Each structure stands twice: as structure tokens, then as C-alpha cells.
Structure 1
């Protein structure tokens, strides 16, 4: 790859790698781009932008359609292999599908990574709200039912490290974006046995979450049921959904231990 800004040092080589991934992420975000658009977006010469795009095309990670470049489907091979490597995905996906059918709501399975909740699988029931949360979506742990379910069962030392090194997400007027508010909520989550996401991520959306644990008590990930606040905030609905969630989590935990 030709980079007019590189001089051959190790630092420059790392900069090339970093820029390559920025371009891949940009292609994923915009769906397609031209050389001039990419150059303007990254603040680089058009010749450099063309060099990166052409190289990605040559190695099969970009498709050139009459001068418009898009990410190729080759990336799905790596994403698919990675997801299938998760034992939690293997045992959890059928249970997610079942729970979504039974409740009619959106059901998600997630794991923590770098202070964020990552969705590894999700399904929508017939009454589910469409919130456009794709597999791989990353959201700060403190904003979601899955994230708070996970945080509530972390050892004190790990939770302390998270609070010391992560910036808490702040997206709505209900977001728990201060340490004191989050810790109070996590204590309440432990007491009741499940987390409640009350419009902290998306206004009008409510979710219930529960951690998925190994036999030694350590947390693998979490599962959530999500729906409109107006429907899920009713006490009868909460009790019913949490009961089904608890049953499903228990099944997943038992199957996980059998792998």
C-alpha cells in the first residue's frame, strides 16, 4: 500500500494499520463512498485515499462498483466464525428465539467488552418494537438492562476498575451517568435479582435484564426483554416477563455447563 504520509518507520506502519481500520469502519457506516469523499472525510490526499481503497479491493474487502466503493461480504466470514466461537451463542440462540415468540417482545443476548455491551444475538416477537439494534451493536454498559445485569454481578475489584477507567454513557435524561446513581441502581438490581432499563438508552423504551452465570458464579453475559415503556412498566407485565426471563436464563446456564 502506498501512503504518502508514511516514511517507513514502525510508527508510520502502525498509522497505516490504524487508518485502514478507520476506512473499513467508515465503509460499514456509509455503505459506499468515492475516493474524493473518503479523502475529505479523513483529511488525506485523494491519491492516498485511492491507494487504500484499491488495496482493500485487491485483497477482497472492498467492492468497486464504477468508482463507488463498498465493504465486501467477506467480512461476514470472520464475524460469523467469531460469533460461533462463543459457547453462549451456541446454547442461547434457540432460547432467545423461543422467548421472543412466547412474549412477543424483543429479546437480546449480550456480553461485555471494553466497557460496553455487545449484542451477539437477538430476535423480535410479533409485537416487538423495532429499535434497529444490529448484532455487534456496542453500547456503554451503564445504559442498558444487559449491561447493568452484568455490572451488578461483577466482583468489587472489577467494578471499581470499570468505574475508574470508563466514561459512563449519557444519552437521555434518565441515564445513570454518575457513579453514585449507578451504584445505587446496581445495589437495587442485586436485591431484586434483575435489572431495569427505564428509558436510560432510548426514550420510551424499557427492558428487563438478567445475568447468565457459570456454576462458580462468574458472569458470562446477560439476556434482556425489551419493549415500549407503556406496556412493560405495568406490574403484571413485569412479573410475567421477568418470570419467563428467569426460566430461560436457567435453561441456558444448565446447557452451558453441559458443553
Structure 2
């Protein structure tokens, strides 16, 4: 079986990769197919593109895709394949393991201010943040371009990523971003490790992070890190985003103080489950 897989690669002009050298190459290929489709949300990927990305023959790639389609992990559309509904079901099952995510939605529903905001929950993964929850507030302006559940954004540019990076030791941040090219999403995006360290120092000093147009030109993000409840828990970050039609986009001192106070209260509730429901006036 292994020799057959290697022969397929050789006929396709590709050397055997890690997936082919694994004890379960079909499983490895299936995971790589899912990863590839996840990186192209909403955009179908053709069988030929998938095979080329895997460095595998179209025949074996087609077999993998057939099994994934039968299990509803992927779906076939006119121009190729997209992720299937089963991935959403599995993602939802994964998220239910975290009580803080359930509590996040409860807090947003009970808070008069958060009810009207776009509020997100995320975790840090290397140099990115992964969004785990999103509360779409009842605001006159909908931030449709904001990150959805499962989306990844550069941590150094987002308020929520900055808040989480600020929990790391400066030496850890330097190691993480050493010789890294920072993505420039807007003219205000953080461009260097020196700028990032300065932003993190300010975040540690005031206790919250701010993104003023670094990801979207007219969007302000205010975020805080949520201390883990116990050793081994994931460290979450919570963020409020607002559209501010000014250049640069900034909140008034009164607005900022109100958001910061509300976030502090939410962090307190998410850190200490006994605080839930004790005060909902924020």
C-alpha cells in the first residue's frame, strides 16, 4: 500500500511528503484537504488544485474526497469542494467544552451596553488569534467585515491579540516575532517588533488594548485578556469593536471609560463563575 502511494507521487512528479511517510497517509491527506478548504472559505477548490496541493495523484485524492463527502465533512459544488456542515457540528461540539463561551453569550445578553455592541472572544495561537465566539449587537451600523467564529487574524494588529500578547513575557514576544514580517492591513498597522513592544508595554500599564484602525480603517477595538481559571486552561481575550467615522478612528474619553468599565466587569464574571449574575447594570 505504501509503495503504491509512493508510485502515485512519482507519477505526479512529487516527492513523498510527511503525509505519505505517516502510518496513516489517507487520514493525513484527509486532514490536509480539510485544512486547504478552511483556508479558502466560501471559495470552491477543484480536485486538481487539491491534488496539486497534496502532491498526490488525482485518483487517490478523489478517493479521499469521496469519503469526506460521504461523511458530510466536505460538499461538492459546481466548481469543486467546500467544507461541509459536519465540520460546523464538530466545531460546535468542541466549543461546548468551554463553559466560558456559554457564559460569554449570557453576559452579552444581560449587559445593556454589550447588547448593542459587536463583542468577540478569542484565543492566541502562535502569531494569530482564533475567534471562538461572536455576539452581534443591536447597533445601527453592522460591522459585517468583523471576524467570525473560526476566523484567524494577525495578533499583533488586533486589540484582542495585543491584550493576549501582553500577558507574555517580553522575551517570549521577541522570540515569537523575531525576523517576522508584519502584515500591513492598513496604514496604521503595527509594522515592527519595536512598535509592538511599545504597544504591549502601554497595554500592560493601562490594563487594556486598543486597535485604532490597524485592521479596518474606521474600526476601533478595545480588548482585555481573561485570566485562566486554573492551570492548563486556555487564556481567552474579549473585545468590543465599533465603527468610528473619523480619521483616525478614536473614541471619546467618556465612551472609552464606559467600554473599559464594562469589559472589566465581563472579565471579572468570566474569571470567577461565582460572580455571574451578581451585577448586570454595565
TM-score of the two chains, using structure 2 as the length reference = 0.75
Is the Cα–Cα contact under 8 Å of residues 171 and 200 in structure 1 kept in the other structure?
A: yes
User: Compared with structure 1, are the counterparts of its residues 73 and 239 closer, same or farther at alpha carbon in structure 2 (3 Å cutoff)?
Assistant: same
Moved over 3 A (4+): 6-11, 13-22, 25-28, 30-49, 63-70, 96-103, 164-169, 214-219
What aligned pairs does 1:1-259 form with structure 2 within 5 A after superposition? 4-5=8-9, 12-14=20-22, 19-28=29-38, 29-36=41-48, 38=50, 46-64=58-76, 69-99=81-111, 102=114, 104-127=116-139, 128-164=142-178, 167-214=181-228, 220-230=235-245, 233-255=251-273
C-alpha displacement at 1:46, in angstroms? 4.2
Is the Cα–Cα contact under 8 Å of residues 119 and 238 in structure 2 kept in the other structure?
A: yes
Is the Cα–Cα contact under 8 Å of residues 150 and 221 in structure 1 kept in the other structure?
A: yes
User: Compared with structure 1, are the counterparts of its residues 155 and 78 closer, same or farther at alpha carbon in structure 2 (3 Å cutoff)?
Assistant: same
Is the Cα–Cα contact under 8 Å of residues 197 and 206 in structure 1 kept in the other structure?
A: yes
C-alpha displacement at 1:92, in angstroms? 2.2
TM-score of the two chains, using structure 1 as the length reference = 0.81
Distance 1:68 1:45 in 2: 16
Unpaired segments ≥5 residues, structure 1: none
Deviations 1:20-75 (A, max 9, x none): 33422444424545545655777765434423322322444233468954432111
Which deviates more, 48-57 or 1-10?
A: 1-10
Is the Cα–Cα contact under 8 Å of residues 100 and 125 in structure 1 kept in the other structure?
A: no
Is the Cα–Cα contact under 8 Å of residues 190 and 196 in structure 2 kept in the other structure?
A: yes
User: Compared with structure 1, are the counterparts of its residues 158 and 93 closer, same or farther at alpha carbon in structure 2 (3 Å cutoff)?
Assistant: farther
How many corresponding residue pairs? 258
Is the Cα–Cα contact under 8 Å of residues 100 and 106 in structure 1 kept in the other structure?
A: no
Unpaired segments ≥5 residues, structure 2: 277-282
SS in 2 for 1:224: strand
Structure 1 or 2: more helix by fraction: 1
C-alpha displacement at 1:88, in angstroms? 2.7
